[in-house]
Amino acid sequence: MTITEKETHIMFSSDSENILDIEIRNDDQTAVLKPIGDIDMSCSPQLRTAIAQVQKPHPSKRIIIDLAAVPYMDSSGVATFVEAMQIARDRKSVV
């Protein structure tokens, strides 16, 4: 998965019934990721992949994660955001 378009819509489904939908908006300096649905152990790897794909081509890009449409998140989701923040900090970026 390569994220280069201005607006992208990604839907992930896991072995369980959980589906994580992620809307991504890009411009030159900022990417906004909006996950829609629960973020738990079954979905956090897909969210991690989407964040990494946004960070990869432009390491200094600012990333905003809009959690308005996330009704529930377990510790694996929090760990995903901590990891993204650490990677961004190493690259002199912001999540």
pLDDT in tens, 38-49: 999 988 998 999
Q: Is the pLDDT of residue 5 over 70?
A: no
Q: Is the pLDDT of residue 1 over 60?
A: no
The Cα–Cα gap between 36 and 60 comes to: 25
Mean pLDDT for 13-42 is 82
Per-chain mean pLDDT for the chain = 82
Could you give the 3-state DSSP secondary structure of residue 25? strand
Q: Is the pLDDT of residue 2 over 50?
A: no
Q: Is the pLDDT of residue 80 over 80?
A: yes
**pLDDT tier, 57 (very low <50, low <70, confident <90, very high otherwise):** confident
